[in-house]
Structures are given as structure tokens and as C-alpha cells.
Amino acid sequence: MPGEPQLESRHCGLADVSLYIHIPFCPSFCDYCDFYSETVKDGGRLDSFLTALIKDINYQLEFFGIEKIVTAYIGGGTPSVLGVRRIRSLLDELGKLKCFSPVEFTIEANPESADREFLTACREGGITRLSLGAQSFHEPSRKSVNRAGSVITLEECLSLAGTIFPQAFCADLLAGLPYQTEEVITDDIKRLLEFKPSHVSLYSLVTEDGTPLEDKVKAKMLTLPDTDAADNIWLAGKNALVSAGFEHYEISNFSAKGGRCLHNTRYWLMDSWLGAGPAACGTVVDEKTGTALRFTYVHDTDAYMKNPIIHNAVCEHLDRITLIKESLLMGYRYMEGPDSRKFRSRFGISAEECIPRTLERWKEKDKMLYLNKFLTEAFCELEM
Ligand code: SF4
């Protein structure tokens, strides 16, 4: 149930936060996706949405007394459906904010809606990093999950991305798609790296409940690689990236030198972030007590546009032990683990002191690769 945020003075006067903006529109739906989004119906709706979004962001900044936005990320959905005029207008509005000086500002885009004009407008408007949904270079795999666009459009867009965002562009790939094999993913990575991305996210395809993918698999209209085959496809992708010099710095993320995503790193290290837009979530940490306020907007764009303020979000108080668990869960997704200095200053104890026996047992093992197993043991120890 939507409720009043637990506004207390300790949640105000935050110095540095990140900002996530959710654009809940896509040109069409991919069968595997369970993100909150709707198909674009008309431009007027996009304009009204942006008006609501700016109101939401301004309100949150004032509500929490934010001094500085250090990283920002526009995700979705498909932010590139906004087109040139609207993205310029959104970036102009953000640029007017006194506290808005991100060291990294990412936008997600899909190749079929990210042409030269759009990417140039992003660059001119202050975006520093582009994240492209590539997913696969294998047409049968793409088509089988209803992924829009073609490999030709993808390659054209990657080429533009390399020109307009030469220092920082990321591409997402999926492992475990129908018709995919270890050879196919290895070839995907070879083709992708020809465009010199600074970062690659390699996700395992998950059959989410209630998606068309789940229906098709249940109806035997589509066959996915079995669990072992899917794991081996992901591992083949990982090995190809690591052999090419990419650093595996988070369970699904690989970077060239200096190419880590700073915004997502702040999630993994549980730094405070604000979230704006339907389905967006924010987490504001109270450093003094080691607790946090989490707010999540409901999955309803109409309700959001009617009254886009944080008071309509669902709020939850994360007590100290919940935040410790979440900090371990997020932190060990990351190559270096939780930030020791921050962990100790927040909780009065280090991560190592919370789970010494588990860490001793896992000294020589790959925690990122077997994260669930590691966390099961860590949480058992924590509760002993
Ligand atoms: S484009 Fe992205 S957000 Fe939209 S349906 Fe496909 S995977 Fe989901």
C-alpha cells in the first residue's frame, strides 16, 4: 500500500546521492522482459510524463535536502524512444539543477531508436556514458524472443556509439537464448569487441513468471538451452571477455581498463540513491544508525503522472540487520567485496568480523561465480 514516507530529520541534508530515472516506454516488448514498461502510444503522453518526472525529481531533491548528485542514470524501458526534442528538454531541465554535477551520466538506448541525432543530443546535453541493448548478433536467437531491430541496425548503432561516446559505451548481451551455443556467444563477443566498447554486461536469460517467454516454453513452442548448457554458454562468454583483457568486476559486468560503471558501483556498495519514475526505487541510508529508507513507486504510469511525488511511493524502513545483509548481498556481487571503511563506519563492525568463518572457508573460492552458495553460508553465520 502506498504510504507516507517515514520522514525524519536524519533522512534530510544528505550530501551526495545518485539519481536513477525510469522511462517506462518501449516501442515493442521482448518476450523475456518483466521490467515495468508500456508501448509508446502517443507523443503527448511522453510530454506529460516528462513534466511529471521533473516535478518528482525537484520535489525529492528538496525533500531530502540533496547537495550533490554524483552519478545519474536514465534507464527503462527504452529511453531512446523519447526522441531528440524530448531528450534535449529533459537534459536541459536536469542541467538547471544546482546540485546536478554528475561525474558519470549514463543513458540506456536501443539501436533501433538511437540514431546519430539522438546520440549527439545526448552527448551535447551532458550524457557521458551510453549503454546499448545489443543482446545478440544471432538473428534466429533475437527473433525467437521477439527482440526488435536487426543485426544490421545493431552494428550501425555500435559504430555510431564508438564515434560519439568513444570513452564510455557499454553493450548488454544475453546468454542462454534459444538457438544459442558456446560458439555463437563467442562469435557475438568477437563481433562486439570490434566496436571497442569500454564495458560489457553479460546477463543470463531468466524465464520470469508471467512473461510471453514463459508461456511459449510451457506450450513447447520454444526450447531453451538446459541449465548446464546455459551455464556453459555464459562461461564461454565470460572466458572470451576475460581473454580479451576485460576485467570481471561484478557477477554480470566486465570492463576495459577504467571502464567500470560508477553509478551501478554505488548500488553494489549501498550508497544512497534517489529513484524517479513509475517502478523506480530509491534507498536513502542513514549513516549514523546504519539503517535506511527505501521507497518504490508503484507500477502505474497514469497514477504517477497524476501525482508524481514521493508520498505516493511505497516506503519501507530497513533496520540495521536488514541493511547489513543487503550490504553483504550487494557487496559480494562486486569483485572487491563491500567497502570496508564504509561498512565499519556504518555498522560499527567490518564485513570480515560479521562472517569470519564463511570468509575463511571461501578464501580460495570464487565468491562471485557461486554467489548464492556463498551468501547462504554467510547469512547462516550472521544469524548464529
Ligand atoms: S526493450 Fe528493454 S525494457 Fe523494453 S521490453 Fe525489451 S528488454 Fe524490456
Beta-strand relationship, 314-318 and 291-296: antiparallel
Pick the atom of ligand 1 nearest to 135's CA.
7
Cβ within 8 Å of residue 365, ≥6 positions away: 374
Average pLDDT for 103-127: 97
Same domain flag for 147 and 230: yes
307 is a domain residue: no
Q: Is residue 375's pLDDT more than 90?
A: yes
Ligand 1 first shell, C-beta below 6 A: 26, 29-30, 33, 35, 37, 76-78, 110, 133
Structure confidence at residue 321 as a pLDDT band (50, 70, 90): very high
CA of 11 to the centre of ligand 1 (A): 33
Whether 299 maps to a domain, the answer reads: no
We report the CATH number of the domain holding residue 247 as: 3.80.30.20
Under the banding of pLDDT at 50, 70 and 90, the label for residue 167 is confident
Q: What does the block give as the cell for 311? A: 508520498
Ligand 1 geometric centre to CA of 24 (Å): 10
Residue whose CA is closest, atom 5 of ligand 1? 29
Q: Cα separation of 9 and 64, whole Å?
A: 9
Provide mean pLDDT across the span 313-336.
96
pLDDT at 150 over 50: yes
Distance, in Å, from the CA atom of 170 to the CA atom of 199, rounded to the nearest integer, reads 4
Q: What is the dihedral angle through the alpha carbons of 130, 134, 135, 137, rounded to the nearest 10 degrees?
A: -160
Structural domain boundaries enclosing 371: 321-384
Is 300 among the domain residues? no
For residues 134 and 169, what is the distance between their CA atoms, to the nearest angstrom? 12
Residue 268 CA, distance from chain mean position: 11
Distance between CA 164 and CA 288 in Å, rounded? 42
Last residue of a domain, one of 265, 286, 301: 265
Same-domain check for residues 222 and 331: no
pLDDT score at 75: 98
- Is residue 89 one of the residues assigned to a domain? yes
Does the residue 274 lie in any domain?
no
Residue 275 falls inside a structural domain: no
Do 26 and 131 share a structural domain? yes
221 plus 73 within the same structural domain: yes
Contact 324, 332 (CB under 8 A): no
Verify that 186 and 331 share a domain, yes or no.
no
Same domain, 257 and 350: no
Site to substitute for ligand 1 among 25, 29, 131, most atoms within 8 A of C-beta: 29
Q: What is the rounded average pLDDT of the residues 118-124?
A: 98
CA end-to-end distance (rounded Å), the chain: 33
C-alpha 321 chain-centroid distance: 25
Whether residues 143 and 243 share a domain: the answer is: yes
pLDDT, tens only, 289-299? 999 999 999 99
Are 292 and 316 spatial neighbours (Cβ–Cβ below 8 Å)? no
Cα–Cα dist 308/305, whole Å: 6
Asked whether the predicted pLDDT for residue 255 surpasses 90, the reply is: yes
Q: What is the mean pLDDT of residues 21-45?
A: 93
The reply to whether 259 and 334 lie within a common domain is no
Distances (CA, A) of 264 to 60, 70, 322: 20, 12, 20
Do the domain assignments include residue 290? no
**Whole-prediction pTM:** 0.94
Residue where a domain terminates, one of 265, 290, 306 = 265
The total domain count for the chain is: 2
pLDDT in tens, 70-112: 999 999 999 999 999 999 999 999 999 999 999 999 999 999 9
**68-76 and 100-109 strand pairing:** parallel
Same-domain status, 333 and 238: no
Which among 22, 23, 35 is the best mutation to test ligand 1's pocket, defined by most ligand atoms within 8 Å of the CB?
35
pLDDT over 60 at 324, yes or no? yes
- pLDDT at residue number 3: 45
For residue range 356-369, list pLDDT tens digits in order.
Answer: 999 999 999 999 99
pLDDT beyond 80 at 40: yes
**Last residue of one domain, picked from the residues 239, 265, 291:** 265
